[in-house]
Amino acid sequence: MLAGAVLFVSGACGGGGGSSEVTVRLVTPAGPTATPTLLPGETVTALEPPELVLSTFEVYQAGTVLVSVTGDIRGGQVTFLGRKFPLTPGSQSQYSFVPVDTEDPPGEYVMKVDVTLPTGTKGTLQETITVLATEWTTEYLEFTPEQVTEYLDPAVIAEEEATLKSLYTRVTPEKLWDGFWQLPVAGVLTSRYGEQRSINGSEPSGHHGGTDFGALEGTPVTATNSGKVVLARQMKVHGNMVVVDHGGGLYSSYGHLSAIEVAEGDAVEAGQQIGLVGNTGLSTGAHLHWEMASNGILLDAVRFTDGTNGF
């Protein structure tokens, strides 16, 4: 069916990356449309056919493709790498930040987008996406026996991960973000997303779930984009933490803060100060731990700002 696809490459640039915006027309025709019966003098407004707009055809592990469907649709769902994501209504399209998990194998995969037209007719748009390998580096950390006992208890970590996962898997069916994504702190990148950790000389394992920026205690921390605060409290491992819901299943979070300056339920603007850099929770010095997650899958936050996601 791919032979029927019509591609428009507009070459539009994203935030600093050499990205291109790609539009794909409906691959599977929506089927014959019933001819409406018109009364004398009555006219019909033509429906705009759906088109698939992807931020990129090539996405890295822990990256995300911003999938948009323009035109007149009632709703839709994206299927990619065996997972399903609902489309969320935006201003001019319905969209989803479709995530690639840290350990999804590199290769070519078909993305399908099932849409329902206003008439109730269903159709499918599809395109092939290449998942590129991200090279994971290793970080060697030293924790004191007290830190190991207090914070590295698998039960403590599992409980906190479950709390965050239950938040990150909620999909608010409303777009709460706008425009570009900003770095949340003026600091030095000290640990990339996905780094494997060797703790006190152990075999490297796991993946760092966020990006760390070293900064002086008290440095302002700002929201990467607009949204609603859904968590603002002390956590065991993440320390003082703020989680912002950007709608459509996308979340950002900010950990190890010395002070929290927003409350759960607050609406925040992009760039608004939400707290201060600190050293709370499991931390070896003042830094910000910045996470991004879409539909429950942790993503490399820096890829929201360096153009590698194509936006």
Interface contacts to Zn ion, rule CB under 5 A: 210, 212, 289
Report in angstroms how near the CB of residue 277 gets to Zn ion at its nearest.
12
Q: Measured from the CB atom, is 142 or 178 closer to Zn ion?
A: 142
Report in angstroms how near the CB of residue 309 gets to Zn ion at its nearest.
20
Report in angstroms how near the CB of residue 177 gets to Zn ion at its nearest.
23
Q: Which of these, 126, 120, 110, lies nearest to 51 by C-alpha position? A: 126
* Amino acid type, 132: L
DSSP 225-260: S-EEEEEEEEETTTEEEEEEE-STTEEEEEEEESEE
Q: Measured from the CB atom, is 51 or 212 closer to Zn ion?
A: 212
Q: Measured from the CB atom, is 47 or 156 closer to Zn ion?
A: 156
Question: Which are the contacts of 236, defined by CB distance < 8 A and separation ≥ 6?
Answer: 151, 156, 159, 160, 281, 282
Do the Cβ atoms of 119 and 90 come closer than 8 Å? no
Residue closest to Zn ion when measured from CB atoms: 289
Report in angstroms how near the CB of residue 193 gets to Zn ion at its nearest.
9
Phi first, then psi: give them for residue 264, nearest 5 degrees. Answer: -60, 135
Q: How far is CA 305 from the centre of its chain?
A: 12
Report in angstroms how near the CB of residue 52 gets to Zn ion at its nearest.
35
| CA gap 76, 298 in Å, rounded | 23
Q: Which residues pair with 115 in a beta bridge?
A: 76, 123
Q: Measured from the CB atom, is 50 or 210 closer to Zn ion?
A: 210
Q: Measured from the CB atom, is 21 or 212 closer to Zn ion?
A: 212
